[in-house]
Chain A
């Protein structure tokens, strides 16, 4: 299986790569459109600020390509937020693949939302085989409210989208690559069950 990890200078690509290695999968870091188009599975991570990430993706020509991809894609954290219509972070336009606008957590909540929080899961191949009480590792200051495409939600002050799916696009707000056994199961599901 040809697995591509979108590399646009957003920090945690190696963590994703190592997590796949622990599952026995090799992957390639890809920073150009043709590398993405050739892949069987694509992981779209993201760390940092929405504005800077969008800029980097536009410069490398990846921004236009991502919405056209037909293969299973898993967006992580900021990657997921960029799939939405827009983000309140730096007033950034999104890819518009999924409906909804990304908003910021407000005081008196601690910001960022950082640590392990519980997933409330619906039926989806991405979330198969998880224990009924599953925790995942989050670190983010912005969130997507629940939308009809939401397949897992988490509560922090209010409920927000922890994972979603639209056709071949899966996404999670938490970091599966850093979420212990639960995260490993989700990555394994993405590679082996998500078509």
Chain B
């Protein structure tokens, strides 16, 4: 049976891991290569490395980080942040990444998704989408790390991306991100039911129970979290043991 995936996420800037609360107030969480190796040892099923650099100079160390992670880590990892062309995707894959996550660039130029699909295959192309509910309760999509409203809505954007050939969706509920109040279960379940590509849930992980909920009620295939793993509040072996006790299909 295909197991559910636990996916630690490393937000990286200037070669260091950082983590914000609701997309702001960044603080340092350590060396990304060390963290990646530790999560690999602890039984993480996959990793996401997000380059959240604001400037070109800050971006330079990222390729080095990717290659070092690929050397040390025997599990798959996705790279996102700044993937805006076939060329930048190729560099990431060639450095050892297994998948690339595209967000703002795809919103600017949706054709990029087809280009990446054709060049590297569907399984390499992850759509990262950041959204939060507007006052009317509709999930609105944001670009540029959550700073820029796009006027697009979650379901129709994901539909377009699926039609253009993505292989996976990484959905971050911005209103949940960093709050540790649980995942956006309803929105996740809707995405999961409507689309056949795998779904990674992101935003809101705080307790083991939240993971149990996201795999059952939220119908997600994978769950991503950052701060609860980085700061040692939740250890992956304990989390997996808990989920196995809850009859969730997990790789022991």
Using a CB–CB cutoff of 8 Å, the interface residues on chain A facing chain B are 11-12, 14-15, 18-19, 21-22, 47-49, 52, 107-118, 133, 135, 137-141, 155-156, 175, 177-181, 183-184
Using a CB–CB cutoff of 8 Å, the interface residues on chain B facing chain A are 1-5, 40, 45-46, 67, 70-72, 74-76, 93-96, 98, 118-124, 167-168, 196-198, 221-222, 251-252
Between A and B, 15 residue pairs with Cβ closer than 8 Å are A14-B96, A18-B96, A22-B72, A110-B197, A112-B122, A112-B168, A114-B168, A114-B221, A115-B3, A115-B46, A116-B251, A139-B167, A141-B122, A155-B1, A180-B75
- Whether A117 lies near B1 (C-beta < 8 A) is yes
- Whether A115 lies near B2 (C-beta < 8 A) is yes
- Whether B197 lies near A180 (C-beta < 8 A) is no
- Whether A47 lies near B197 (C-beta < 8 A) is no
- Whether A14 lies near B3 (C-beta < 8 A) is no
- Whether B40 lies near A180 (C-beta < 8 A) is yes
Contact A12 to B196, CB < 8 A, known contacts A19-B74, A135-B3: no
Chain A residues with CB below 8 A from B94, complex form: 11, 14
- Whether A113 lies near B2 (C-beta < 8 A) is yes
Contact A140 to B70, CB < 8 A, known contacts A18-B96, A114-B221, A115-B222: no
- Whether A184 lies near B198 (C-beta < 8 A) is no
Chain B residues with CB below 8 A from A52, complex form: 118
Of A15, A18, A178, the most chain B CB neighbours within 10 A belong to A15
User: How far is B98's CA from A178's CA once the two chains are assembled, in angstroms?
Assistant: 9
- Give chain A nearest CB distance to B165 CB in angstroms: 10
Chain A residues with CB below 8 A from B252, complex form: 133
User: How far is B213's CA from A25's CA once the two chains are assembled, in angstroms?
Assistant: 43
- Give chain B nearest CB distance to A77 CB in angstroms: 9
- Give chain A nearest CB distance to B189 CB in angstroms: 14
- Whether B40 lies near A140 (C-beta < 8 A) is no
- Give chain B nearest CB distance to A69 CB in angstroms: 25
18 new A-B pairs (CB below 8 Å) besides A115-B4, A116-B251, A139-B98?
Answer: A11-B93, A11-B124, A14-B70, A22-B74, A52-B118, A110-B196, A111-B197, A115-B5, A115-B198, A117-B2, A135-B251, A137-B75, A139-B123, A155-B1, A175-B76, A179-B74, A179-B75, A180-B40
- Whether B123 lies near A15 (C-beta < 8 A) is no
Across the two chains, which residue of chain A brings its CB closest to B69? A18
Chain A residues with CB below 8 A from B198, complex form: 110, 112, 114-115
